[in-house]
Amino acid sequence: MLLYLGNAGPQGDRGVSGLSGMKGKRGEDGLHGNMGVNGMQGPQGSVGRQGFKGFKGERGGKGDEGFQGMPGKGGRKGGRGRSGKRGMDGLPGLPGQMGDKGEDGRQLGGDNVPRGEQGDAGLPGPPGSSGQKGRSGYRGSRGLKGSRGMRGPPGTEGRSGQTGQRGNPGLQGTAGFQGTPGVDGTPGRRGRAGKAGRRRPPGHLIVVHSQTENTPACPTGTRRLWKGYSMLYLEGSERAHGQDLGSAGSCARRFNSMPFLYCNPAGNCKYAGRNDKSYWLSTLAPIPLRPIEVDSVKKYISRCSVCEAPAQALAIHSQTTLDPTCPLGWNSLWLGYSFVMHTASGAEGSGQSLSSTGSCLMDFRSTPFIECNGARGHCHFYNNQFSFWMTTIESDGQFATPQKDVLTNGNTRSGVSRCNVCMRLAP
């Protein structure tokens, strides 16, 4: 069957783009190509025209020191030098190896064979093989110190090192020299007011007797140390010993009709075995007709307080029915009646210092104290108890003869001097 090929037809229109195909698999590596042929050398270019002569340049500064050059190539072999002087003899060589054993000599016939002449020296034998390596020699002495070399150029600045660890505290240094006084600083601001302090009393004592069953309060500005019962005086062996009502000893912490015992030279001490007595400042309770048993006497015994004050107190007596005023700078604590002294059984008794606060009792009664008997253990207001008071004196009767007078219960107070207990004000 014959096929006839026609002429190529006109180019057709571009076809519609086909869909994207899937990614193909990696192909196998191709064969290594042959090395290409070297190209031919190009023709030499023509010589260019000579340029214009340039201007003379300014002299340049000294250049930096150049780097050390590379070692040069080996020079040509020099001519034969002159013969040197004879060198020193070398060290003896090592002994050579033992030569081969020679042939046995032939003995000539006859007895009297003349000895031949000494033959010439033989040819040098072949050099022996190298000997074993000898042991290391002794260490040589240290060479002399060489001369100091030239200072090299400064090196480049190194990188900053890392911060070192904190060192241990150093030893205590010695005290420095005294510095010169500094310049006065500017005055500081005024500080805030401090808290109010408490003023402590310096230890002065004031004893207050209420002449009632109630414990008296301490005056303003003072504080109570203790409270108790108003003891006036004691009597033993028909002898009296009094207590100043302005002293702390007149305020006994506890009450007893016989608050003391007595001891004799034989070393014996007895209590409530004799007719000893105690006297106490009394209250204003009505006087009973019969002796009072000790278990019922409580309401007849005055109470007292010992107070600590910031200043000394004193009693001022007017010797009139008018209350005296305190001096300038002093404050009144209480008003009262001027009590001087007292007696009882056996005409024994005691008295009060007129400067003492105990000489100014807050209330007046003709019998201001009660007697307690130690042996019988009861208390009573007896007829032989007497109290003594400062009286009133008119200004025109100071140097006149006193006139006898009897004051009855209705007007007894009119003849008794008034008093005032005063204390200095705190500064």
Residues paired with residue 231 on neighbouring β-strands, in sequence order? 280
Judged by DSSP in three states, 42 sits in coil
- Whole-structure pTM over 0.85, yes or no? no
Residue type, 210: S
Give Cα 22 to chain centroid, integer Å: 87
pLDDT tens digit sequence for 34-93? 665 665 666 776 766 776 666 676 676 676 665 665 665 666 766 676 766 776 766 666
97-106, 135-144, 155-164, 237-246: least confident range: 97-106
Q: How many CB atoms lie within 10 A of CB 120?
A: 6
Burial 53-65 (b: 16+ CB within 10 A, else e): eeeeeeeeeeeee
Instruction: Take residue 90 and report the two structure tokens written for it.
Output: 């070398």
Could you tell me what percentage of the chain is helix, strand and coil, using 3-state DSSP and rounding each to the nearest 5? Answer: 5, 20, 75
Report the percentage of the chain scoring pLDDT > 70.
67
By residue count, the chain amounts to: 427
pLDDT tens digit sequence for 214-262? 999 999 889 999 999 999 998 887 788 888 999 999 999 999 888 888 8
* Angle made by CA atoms 153, 155, 161, in degrees to the nearest 5: 160
Phi-psi domain of 220 (left: phi exceeds 0; alpha: psi -120 through 50; beta: other): beta
Q: How many CB atoms lie within 10 A of CB 231?
A: 23
* Angle made by CA atoms 342, 347, 352, in degrees to the nearest 5: 25
Half-sphere exposure of 161 (CA within 13 A, CB side): 3
